[in-house]
Structure 1
Amino acid sequence: MSALTPPTDMPTPTTDKITQAAMETIYLCKFRVSMDGEWLCLRELDDISLTPDPEPTHEDPNYLMANERMNLMNMAKLSIKGLIESALNLGRTLDSDYAPLQQFFVVMEHCLKHGLKAKKTFLGQNKSFWGPLELVEKLVPEATEITASVKDLPGLKTPVGRGRAWLRLALMQKKLSEYMKALINKKELLSEFYEPNALMMEEEGAIIAGLLVGLNVIDANFCMKGEDLDSQVGVIDFSMYLKDGNSSKGSEGDGQITAILDQKNYVEELNRHLNATVNNLQAKVDALEKSNTKLTEELAVANNRIITLQEEMERVKEESSYILESNRKGPKQDRTSEGQALSEARKHLKEETQLRLDVEKELEIQISMRQEMELAMKMLEKDVCEKQDALVSLRQQLDDLRALKHELAFKLQSSDLGVKQKSELNSRLEEKTNQMAATIKQLEQSEKDLVKQAKTLNSAANKLIPKHH
């Protein structure tokens, strides 16, 4: 029986394994991200409850920040592990076009941005991780050369671009881990840039700094002059850390489909957030356009006022010249009254000139404000274009995930059909085995009867032989 029964590969999940999976759970937006080796699985929070223990509310800022730190730490583990393995298999110097290396820098950028204090500027709040990286040269003298090289690069215009260039130069120098450890050990300096529960201020930052030591085994070479680091879109491509469905066991089909569906839900949620961001940016652009229209109207009114003042000044000049001419020709007794009129005209002219200067200053201020508004609109339009490109990329990933889901569903149906056929074959084999066992028992019984008969005949023959003699 046991030899004819086909072996099964479907282990029964135990409570210990489920609890262990729950302990390895991290949170991203409204989804749970579970790590199992090289797997990255997303599950919506309302889908399952693995432990009866009460959990803190998701509205608690400290709870959310802790989950974000765990997310980023696990993503850093995946990125660094994948980068080292792929680089060792590749066996050559890496450049800026290498996809795992690009994703590593994106993940590091998200880690450095976590919990940054926002600085208010003319265009709104700005968060940049270049400020903390500048502190490294004060802690490690070897980093002075990197910071100076970044500041001398002509193509970098934003603090974000300088921070990205610094990370690449530190990786080429194989000192990234050392610099990050030196920075994390100075919490009193980092508190100026980060919130108290940011990743760089907690234990997760030290863990990531320790993981970076493994990157010293790879060689990288970047050309900073021709690369546009200011306008790159820092989106994490989760598909790079997912295994192919063909390499997993057939018993994990349900888990794969659930993971793919959760991935799809996460991408749709991220897509919704990006649409909301684009709508907010569009509203800001509309407000700036209205403000620009208002400034244009005010500029036209100011130009009309300047023209009117110029005409009045010309008229005053003509009157003053006429008065001077009449003073020369007129009698002396009229000169006193005319002199008074002339002084009043000069006073009026002085007031009009001062008013004209004030209007010109106001016009210059309005023109400078308009130029700043136009610059802000251009930057917002550029940001909108970048968000739209990221949205297109995410939609493409969503389509790929849907196609993978259909393929896995088809494979699952095929595997279910194969299981049914095997179970039917197994039942048939069991019936045949039972029949064969019954036949064997009958044969054994008949053999025993024959043996008894043979013994009886043998004993009878032995009795007959002496009598014959």
Structure 2
Amino acid sequence: MSEKSPCLSPVKKSFLGFNKSLWGPLELVEKLCPEAAEISASVRDLPGLKTPLGRARAWLRLALMQKRLADYLRLLITRKDLLSDFYEDSALMLEEEGAVIVGLLVGLNVIDANLCVKGEDLDSQVGVIDFSMYLKNDIDDYRSEERNSQIASILDQKNYVEELNRQLNSTVHGLQSRVDSLEKSNSKLIEELAIAKNNIIKLQEENQQLRSENNLILLKAQQHLEVAQGDVSLERDAYKQSRQGLDEMYNEARRQLKEECQLRQDVENELVAQVSMKQEMELAMKLLEKDIHEKQDTLIGLRHQLDEVKAINVEMYQKMQSSDEEMKKKNNVISRLEEKTNQITATMKQLEQRLQEAERHRTSAEDGSRRFKLDFAKKADSLQRQIEHREKQLQQLETDLKIEREWRQTLQNDLHRERETVSQLSTEALQINGLKKEFHRLQDENLQLKTVCEDQEQALEELGSKLSESKLKIEDIKEANKALQGGQVWLKDKEATHCKLCEKEFSISRRKHHCRNCGEIFCNSCSDNELPLPASPKPVRVCDTCHALLLQRCSSNAT
């Protein structure tokens, strides 16, 4: 109901008399309701108003801001004796349709109006829509059906505009909830990225430690080979000088060879274990990459949703420009939300850059591990070649041993030296055992990391369940809001344990259902009806009693 409404503005031969103005009947409300005295006094005190039409417009805007416009007009319509001085006998305000229109204005009491009264040209004449063709006239009774259809179309358009307002409110709340969820997910992603960076740094440190240990092992092996070569040269000189005791030396050399072969196999087994550890590390990195890609996919999906919401908001903005001036505030809210979404997209881009940097670090680590594998393979090949050369030398020694068995006494001194080397090898075996213990410790740490990852996955699943519960609660709240807009009390689910009509107890098979008219809770059999309500033009669930009452009202209105 605005200042352009045909039921209050003077129209030719239908509403007001020729010498009457709109300010006259509105000024009578002060006598009928003392609360309206403040509005009329403030209108009289406004300095910029010069005409009765401007005062009437200012009075209507103040009544809208006070949320009492429908109440004031209802009091005015009941006094037809006073209105007869201002309206003609065939005017709409003196008939039953005027009361119906005032009843429709009750919905304006819910809206928070903030209209400007000062600084506007309220005295200027504004184009008025002529609704006289849709109103009753004694001359054109034969066209009443067409007029009723046109009035019904106007009411449908009004319901459509109200539905658009509700949808815009729901989209605004949905966007706010999405923005909150995006901010939470962004904080979680930042934390996960920090954890992943820490894990990568730890893995790099462990790789450096393993490299240093491998280098130490290779150096020690080279030193042992050099010592062995010196011993072999000394043995050759001793073999030329004395050929006694070669049989015992031969047996002891065989045993030493077996021990060295066993040591070599142990070293190879440890190397295989280290390679397996590296493979496990690579698998862990791949799993982290998969998680990152999945999160990126979710972020892309959220972006698409935000783009769709933006397109929907633009379309709704274009459609609602001609409907009401109040939609400008909602459009401002939508623009703020768009700024927030832009900020979120900027943060998402920063997160993507950080993810790319993490991937670069990971690729560099993979290149280092590949280089280490190649170096290790080359060193292993060189060791195998040296062992083969040593075996050839041993074959030559065996041929010499068959010839030189006479020099045994001089070789006993050399046997003592070789026993000392055996003791040194035993100390090295102890060091290798220590390395094995460190390897087991690393395995335990890896298991702990896996448990931490599983705990985080469980936490994510719990968050998903909480989100689903929150969505269900939001739907319940929306239904409650719709019921409150209809002016009814929405009964909570916890307060009802039995059906209100059949008084049967609710269970898993017998679920609870709200009546959208009265707000009470019924079972499915007692509320298996659907009718359109004033709050919602679409058919909604209604109980049996409300269904019967609404049908009676419709039949009475039709008659």
TM range (shorter): 0.3 to 0.5
Higher Cα radius of gyration: 2
RCO greater where, 1 or 2, for CA within 8 Å and sep 6 or more? 1
Could you state the TM-score of these two structures normalised by the residue count of structure 1? 0.35
